[in-house]
Amino acid sequence: MDRDTFISKRTKNNYVEVHHLIPLSRQDDFKASLDCSENLCCLSPLAHRSIHYGRGVDAIKVIYKVLEGKRATLLKFGVNEDYLLRSYGIE
């Protein structure tokens, strides 16, 4: 996770956002539900927005950091890195 976050008033912990590694918009490609714990990761607000709204190079940096701990998820769903990057509009 990127360290660009802040302390939450409510929890007194680093504020993070939950992200689906394989986007839910790709659900039609899979029999198993993508809305499961294996497909979730916690990101700093900056990292989360970088994936969704950043330039390809910025999104790729975050995606590859997340992949370090989530390769088993990709295998479970039969997804390779190229498919994942295309899912985010990165060719």
pLDDT 10s digits, 9-59: 999 999 999 999 999 999 999 999 999 999 999 999 999 999 999 999 999
- The phi-psi region of residue 88 (left if phi > 0; otherwise alpha if psi is between -120 and 50; otherwise beta) is alpha
CA 40 vs CA 9, 17, 37, 90: distances in Å = 24, 10, 5, 20
CA 86 vs CA 44, 75, 79: distances in Å = 22, 17, 11
Nearest to 66 by CA among 39, 45, 91: 39
What are 59-85's pLDDT values in tens digits? 999 999 998 889 888 888 999 999 999
Structure tokens of 50?
């970088």
User: pTM of the full predicted structure?
Assistant: 0.86
